[in-house]
Amino acid sequence: MAGAASSPSRDWALAVPLAVLFALFFIAPLGLLVSISFQTERQMTGALGLGQYAAFLTDDLNLAVLRDTLLVGVKATILCLLFGYPLAWLCTRVSARWQAALIFLIVLPIVTSVVVRTFAWIVILGRRGILNEAILALGLSAQPLRLLFSETGVVIVLAQVQMPLMVLPLITAIQRIDPNLESASQALGAGAWRTFFKVTLPLSLPGIIAGTILTYTACVTAFVTQSLIGGSRLLYMPMMIFQQAMDLQNWPFAAAVSVIFMASVLLIVALLIALSRSRAARPYG
Amino acid sequence: MSQSAGHALTLRSISHAFGAVVAANGIDLDIRPGELVSLLGPSGCGKTTLLKIIAGFLRQTSGDVLVDGASISHLPTHQRRIGIVFQNYALFPHMSVAQNIAYGPVAAGWPKAEVAAVVTEMLDVVQMAAFRDRLPRELSGGQQQRVALARCLAIRPRILLLDEPFSALDKNLRLDMQIEIKRLQRQSGITTVMVTHDQEEALGMSDRIAVLSRGNLEQFASPSDIYDRPDSLFVNTFVGTANLLKGEIAGLSPSGAVVRLADGSLIETGRATQLVPGARVLVPVRPEGLRVSADGADGALAADVTAVMPIGPSFIYEVALADGTPVKVVQERDETAPLSGPVFLHIKPNRISGLFADLPDDTQKKGN
Amino acid sequence: MRDWQTLSFNALFGLISLICIIVLAGPTLVILILSFTGEEALHFPPASYSFRWYLALLDANELQAALWISLKVAAISVTVCVVLGVAAALAIVRSTGSIARVLETVFMSPLILPALAFGFAALMLFSMLGMRPSILTLAIGHIIVCAPFVLRTTLASLMQLDPALIDASRSLGASGLHTFRTVTLPLISRGVASGAFIAFMASFDNVPVSLFLQDARTQVLPIYLWDIIQNQLDSRAASACGVIIIATVLLMVLMERVAGFSRFMK
């Protein structure tokens, strides 16, 4: 509050340029997207209606794409949480120097190009890739496994590519827990596992939810990874929008698909936020 | 530093509200040139709001702030030339001691030579010349405070504001810095307003004290008047320790009143009052205005010793009157006074600091 | 029994963490090693090592052109993001009103919304406005998706800033602009620099928005690389990725030293 009162009107002016830019090139395009999605004719003749939405929602193939996209995000997010939580926990248990090194290692993938990281996975998961050669050499399978262009591959790569988005909020949340609580739990006779499930895990819930929101939205919208690892056989919503818009030049339908996709993602985010609010109200529940 | 000496500061019916909360309610203060005035009160009483209004961080809802009779209400902070030492000192962490002190003069566009001269002068004034190239985080709390003071005096402010200046210092250092600041203030003659919630600080350093409660000015007077002749029950209980004896007015005399206490004994209050006979009153007596002894002379009250704390040269007694009212007494170590059991309580002459109406709720009003 | 519990707990968590670390770092290392292959085909581990594919980059004109476009777009968008983002952060952090919260939500929402849908929407707007795909349209799209990064780190460092420092500066006679230059900006510079770095990398790496806003003359590097990887798996893709990895790591070490930027990622 201090310092704010002298010239509140002038402080506002500072936000205006970015607000104008967002109004012109963020809000306006999204508004246009929504309005074009109501055009019933592909040629955009001006006839309005819900035709495009009906076309999407009555076709089982389209609904399967939406379901697959949302599910692949769920699977990758769960994988991120299962593997990311121990890593985040480790980061809070090591010395400051090691923690800095680990965080550097975790942040590095976010900053490195997605195309580069996905490219690496093609080399690793390919038919004659590193993983298959190892599997064949160890005699775990007689045939090379189909990892590339499979949903398993997409889930694994998405989990690796987006893992940092899960781990970083988790580190923050676990660090915020008073270490005395864990000591108290152990002093009361609870073992390491019981202490973890009864104290550490519930208290880090805000971090889990924040990480889940970031990871999930990144996974379902990860166009590059989905299309490079999934190949042409697996179709997800982002690719569908791109094909409809650019290859088929069907803008009204692509707009409707975009709106449905955005609405689904926002709905899931809203549910997660609502969940975090209800848990936050009773943090020890 | 003679230029900065002696500016008068006037607050004229200053009011300020944050939404429905009234933080200042028509405050009038006339602060004389060269005076050191404390704004004293519990948290939420409006003292910090007043300080922010004087500094210009906050614009009052109504009323006027004047320096030497000229209104400064319309001026933004940086044109007011009012120096302020913040509670946490607010030294610029990325600048050395010398750069901190030079900050105001540089911002005002002083010639380089003058800036250098004032930095050297101020470093000498606060005895920090050896630390000129240190960063704030390399200094102790007391040293940081000296730098904060030097930085603010460097702009030759017309008024000096101190916001809870000693709260971040540990107890031993606090007294040293209080003496130091008092000395600097006397030397420079700069009009100073200090915000504090610490009554000892206010009593020890101020020329006058403004006691505030819930946005209202309760009393504006010298420390001895505030302590010995409080205007209101609030001032009486907030400043120092007060025993309140319940009773009712038995009669009025030209020089004061006679009050019948709960146990039936009569005492003379010696101060005039507008209260009528029969009115329920509270008689305030400071712990040092009482004496405990084994002998019950005329007018002494019967009491029982609850606890005794010997603290060096003096004893603190807690005794209970016949009706159970607890009373604190501070007196010199006296081997003849009993340490337990029934005792007699004597009220020393002229030690009754006022007389207040005993109202059922907490909206205590002035009694005289 | 507690010892067994502690042991099993630490062993499992340690093992999973180790797997994570290998999986996080592994792919980048694989590409880095592969970029030094001496062979024609990309096979791991390479039978021989050489700099031949790095040297081949010197003649890769299309790749260089794409790199140049990407750098230009990133430089323009980051500059605009920093100027407008820092200004907006100052306004948002000083105000407690609900309009500020709404603005913050809007400015942050490109992080959550599918970037591809936004890219498509922007394409439709530009085509309605008669604007052909160009460096300008690319830069505008990138500004929108990169602004949240600058805004977030700047807000984080502004929150750390003691408001009494600003009050102190004003009371010492400094104007608002002087205060910003000498107190606010130096004290939030790490956050601003970190945000600028993250925004630069995000722009340099962006595919979903660029796909809609570029044309053949303004193809950006990640999309060019994507094309090669998908179509012919040219070994120059590996050496180009090698250059990107090395440059990224060097920049990251630099930013960590100068601005401690990984703090701002949490």
- Inform me whether the C-beta atom of residue C201 falls under 8 Å from chain A C-beta atoms: yes
Residue limits of CATH 3.40.50.300 in chain B: 2-235
- Those of residues 65-104 in C touching chain B at CB distance below 8 A are none
C230 contact B CB<8A: no
* CATH number, domain with residue A124: 1.10.3720.10
CB contact (8 A) between residue C162 and residue B108: no
Round to whole Å and give the CA distance between A130 and C45.
Answer: 8
Structure tokens at B79: 């044109």
Tell me the per-residue pLDDT of B157-211, one tens digit each, with 9 for 90 and over.
999 999 998 888 888 888 888 988 898 898 889 999 999 988 888 998 999 999 9
ipTM value greater than 0.90: no
Whether A6 shows a pLDDT value over 50: the answer reads no
Cβ-Cβ pairs closer than 8 A, B with C, add up to 66
Q: Domain for residue A77, yes or no?
A: yes
Task: Classify residue A72: in a domain, yes or no.
Answer: yes
Q: Is the separation of the CB atoms in C85 and C154 below 8 Å?
A: yes
pLDDT band at A180 (very low <50, low <70, confident <90, very high): confident
Evaluate whether residue A29 is within a structural domain: no
- Residue A30 counted as domain residue: no
Among the partner residues A83, A112, A193, nearest to C248 by beta-carbon distance = A112
CB contact under 8 A, A2 and C167: yes
Question: Is the confidence at residue B93, as pLDDT, over 80?
Answer: yes
CB of C136 closer than 8 Å to CB of A271: no
CA distances from C70 to A183, C66, C85, C196 (A): 52, 6, 21, 16
The CATH number of domain B241-353 is 2.40.50.140:
yes
The residue among A4, C90, C96, A1 whose CA lies nearest residue B76 is A4
Which structural domains are found in chain C, ordered by start?
60-265 (1.10.3720.10)
Alpha helices (H) in chain B, listed in sequence order: 47-55, 97-107, 112-125, 141-153, 171-188, 199-205, 223-228, 233-238
Task: Answer for the pair B305, B269: CB distance below 8 angstroms, yes or no.
Answer: no
Contact flag C167-B80 (C-beta cutoff 8 Å): no
Instruction: Spell out which residues of chain C touch residue A108, defining contact as CB-CB under 8 Å.
Output: 24-25, 28, 248-249, 252
Q: How many domains does chain A have?
A: 1
Q: Does C265 sit within 8 Å of A242, measured CB to CB?
A: no
Contact: C141, A172; criterion CB under 8 Å: no
Q: What pLDDT, on a 0 to 100 scale, did the predictor assign at position C74?
A: 95
Check A110 against C265: CB less than 8 A apart: yes
Chain C stretch 136-175, residues whose beta carbon is closer than 8 A to a beta carbon of chain B: 162, 164-165, 167-175
In the predicted structure, residue C147 carries a pLDDT above the cut 80: yes
A266 contacts in chain C (CB < 8 Å): 112-113
Of A1, A130, A262, the CB nearest to C30: A130
Place of tokens 């799209």: C141
Cα dihedral A241→A242→A248→A253 (10° resolution): 20
Q: Does A113 touch chain B (CB under 8 A)?
A: no
The CATH T-level fold of domain B2-235 is Rossmann fold (3.40.50)
pLDDT at B5: 61
Selecting from C169, C171, C182 the residue whose C-beta is nearest the C-beta of B83 gives C171
* Residue among A6, A9, A10, A11 with most chain B CBs within 10 A, to mutate: A6
Give chains near A: 3+ CB pairs under 8 A. B, C
Q: Give the domain range for residue A166.
A: 46-280
The reported pLDDT for the residue numbered A2 is 35
Residue A3 has pLDDT above 60, yes or no: no
Which pLDDT score is estimated for B66? 94
Bridge partners (DSSP) of residue B37 are: B193, B208
Nearest-CA distance B77 → chain A (Å) = 8
Q: What is the mean pLDDT of residues B56-66?
A: 92
Residues A65-88: tens digit of each pLDDT: 999 999 999 999 999 999 999 999
Is residue B105 packed enough to be buried (19+ CB in 10 Å), middle (13-18) or exposed (0-12)? buried
- pLDDT for position C70: 93
Q: Which residue of B has its CA nearest to A3?
A: B57
pLDDT-above-70 percentage for chain C:
98
**Which among C141, C208, C230 has CB closest to A228?**
C230
Q: Which residue in C86, C156, C165, C154 sits closest to B95, CA to CA?
A: C165
